[in-house]
Amino acid sequence: MSDPLDERDRAGDPLAVVAREAGAYLESLRERLVHDGTKDALLDDLDGPLPVTGDGAVAAVQELVRIGTGAATHSSGPRFFHFVVGGSTPAAIAGDWTASLLDQVAGMWPASPLATRAETVVLRWLKELFGLPESFGGVLTPSATLAHVAGLACARYWWADKYGVDVTSRGLAGLPVMPVFSSGLVHVSTRKALQILGCGRDTLRTFARDDAGRVDLDAMDAALARVGGRAVIVANLGEVNTGDSDPIADLADLAERHGAWLHVDGAFGLFAALSPRTAHLARGVERADSVTADGHKWLNVPYESGFSFVRDQAWLSRAFGAWGAAYLPDADGERVNYNMLGPESSRRARALPIWATLRAYGRDGYREMVERHLDVAAHLGELVEAAPDLELLAPVQLCIACFRFRPDGVPEERLDALNARLGEALLADGRVYAGTSTYRGMTVFRPAPVNWRTTKADVERLVDVVRELGAAVAD
């Protein structure tokens, strides 16, 4: 086979291969190992010289499905607790297949009114879901990091404008360092966004009152006064080790008092707004100048999905638009050109899986899922506290339980090495997946149950496996 044109009358056949295998694979996720190291040998089957004459679409896709279903890390299953990774709901998977099927050019209205209108609709639905004002502008991005880039690019434009500089056209040359203040809960993705924007990864200053990173409001207040309010405050809603959050409303008060820009990192914590039990954590987000979150975390849509909301959409246009290319059309009402409101030019129609899942399950369905995960995480915390060889290191506030293995007789100075070995053993074992992190100087586990399939039985299994392997590595 040498030319895809030869297969134009059978173009749907490769899709049928995937559809035929999808049901059995998805059903198997309930009992599969999250990762089976014995199947890593299949990865070699991906390799080899570039074919001169191809195998044809059906044969190639059959081989890809065979290798993938065997060698993949099955992060769509219910026991992948590493990082903060959701699965993909059935509707979201189908919506993503539809996005690939239609292959829309999603950046400009003339190229795809469908993709543009879908993005406009889902941004409105997401604002309703999170309780953000309808007047906020927004754009879909590939990730929370790129959502930070969008929001902080607006902040950078706002800040440079105070010096009379159009940073979009002139850049940062000649300007002082843009002050960016946060608590110790700040995530590395914020620093990466500042790095991409040319502001400097390490220019961000943290103000923490304890070794958990909680914000020192008085120290930040004084720092804002010293720079005359020309600064960006980054508030963190949901920290990755414990789920802890900054007091958003208090930081909004600081921003308002000093005239600073407030950016909220709500990568997964923004979903706290969905439940009356946790909505207080998100109080004040509606007062922010920019807000970011991930879709491939608690929204349970496929990678890659993020969203950025900005109080005044004009800032997005100033930060990313005005290219000066005559062939690119201007926006007109709902005929938005989203490639002029964010960091991407070529964009896939990532609104379609979001539209499908929100249409399928609605506000109530997502509230129920979030509250189930809150219950699952709380149950995990209770199991840890009840186990004599486990130690809960922080209150369970959202979807993360932070703990370590601490058997009797092991001195404090050996616990970090012991937990690191246990982390390696846990990932190699594959029955459950939860890696280690560092919290308050300690090596810890911080499993995050945010997959729509996950139930209390899955975290019970996690605790059983951790204790079993812990006993083995401690000998």
Write the DSSP symbol of residue 125: H
Distance, in Å, from the CA atom of 398 to the CA atom of 293, rounded to the nearest integer, reads 15
Q: What rounded mean pLDDT belongs to the chain? A: 95
Distance, in Å, from the CA atom of 280 to the CA atom of 271, rounded to the nearest integer, reads 11
DSSP-assigned states of every residue in 352-391: HHHHHHHHHHHHHHHHHHHHHHHHHHHHHHHHHHH-TTEE
Query: Is the pLDDT assigned to residue 328 strictly greater than 70?
Result: no
User: Token pair of 178, please?
Assistant: 């843009």
Q: pLDDT tens digits for 168-197?
A: 999 999 999 999 999 999 999 999 999 999
Sheet holding 436-439, edge to edge: 390-392, 403-405, 442-445, 436-439
* Residue 366 CA: distances (Å) to CA of 373, 399, 429, 451: 11, 14, 32, 12
Reported confidence tier of residue 475, pLDDT bands at 50, 70, 90: confident
Q: pLDDT tens digits for 388-421?
A: 999 999 999 999 999 999 999 999 999 999 999 9
Region 419-427: mean pLDDT is 98
Distance, in Å, from the CA atom of 341 to the CA atom of 325, rounded to the nearest integer, reads 15
Query: Is the pLDDT assigned to residue 88 strictly greater than 70?
Result: yes
Task: Evaluate the CA torsion angle 322, 326, 327, 329 in order and state its sign.
Answer: positive
Reported confidence tier of residue 232, pLDDT bands at 50, 70, 90: very high
User: Token pair of 91, please?
Assistant: 């509707």
Adjacent-strand bridge partners of 245: 237
Query: Is the pLDDT assigned to residue 1 strictly greater than 70?
Result: no
DSSP-assigned states of every residue in 160-224: HHTTT--HHHH-STT--PPPEEE-TT--HHHHHHHHHTTS-GGGEEE-BSSTT--B-HHHHHHHH
Core vs surface per residue 323-334: b (16+ CB within 10 A) or e: eeeeeeeebeee
Closest CA to 73 of 32, 20, 28, 44: 32
Distance, in Å, from the CA atom of 196 to the CA atom of 189, rounded to the nearest integer, reads 10
Region 241-253: mean pLDDT is 98
Distance, in Å, from the CA atom of 187 to the CA atom of 210, rounded to the nearest integer, reads 17
Which stretch of DSSP H or E encloses residue 59? helix 57-71
What pLDDT is attached to residue 11? 92
Query: Is the pLDDT assigned to residue 351 strictly greater than 60?
Result: yes
Query: Does residue 333 or residue 193 have the better pLDDT?
Result: 193
Query: Is the pLDDT assigned to residue 331 strictly greater than 90?
Result: no
Region 195-218: mean pLDDT is 97
Query: Is the pLDDT assigned to residue 231 strictly greater than 60?
Result: yes
Q: In angstroms, how far apart are the furthest CA atoms of the chain?
A: 73
Distance, in Å, from the CA atom of 158 to the CA atom of 57, rounded to the nearest integer, reads 50
Query: Is the pLDDT assigned to residue 323 strictly greater than 90?
Result: no
Query: Is the pLDDT assigned to residue 2 strictly greater than 90?
Result: no
> Domain locations in the chain?
95-358
What pLDDT is attached to residue 333? 64
User: Token pair of 168, please?
Assistant: 């979009």
DSSP SS3 for 153? helix
Q: pLDDT tens digits for 301-320?
A: 999 999 999 999 999 999 99
Task: Please say whether the beta carbons of 357 and 300 come within 8 A.
Answer: yes
Task: Please say whether the beta carbons of 214 and 223 come within 8 A.
Answer: no
What pLDDT is attached to residue 414? 97
* Number of C-beta neighbours around residue 171 at 10 A: 12
The pTM score is 0.95
Q: Is domain 95-358 given the CATH code 3.40.640.10 in the classification?
A: yes
What pLDDT is attached to residue 322? 65
Distance, in Å, from the CA atom of 111 to the CA atom of 113, rounded to the nearest integer, reads 7
Distance, in Å, from the CA atom of 50 to the CA atom of 68, rounded to the nearest integer, reads 19
Task: Evaluate the CA torsion angle 135, 141, 144, 148 in order and state its sign.
Answer: negative
| CB-based burial label for 68 (10 Å; 0-12, 13-18, 19+) | middle
* Residue 346 CA: distances (Å) to CA of 110, 324, 335: 14, 17, 17
User: Token pair of 467, please?
Assistant: 């204790």
Which stretch of DSSP H or E encloses residue 262? strand 261-265
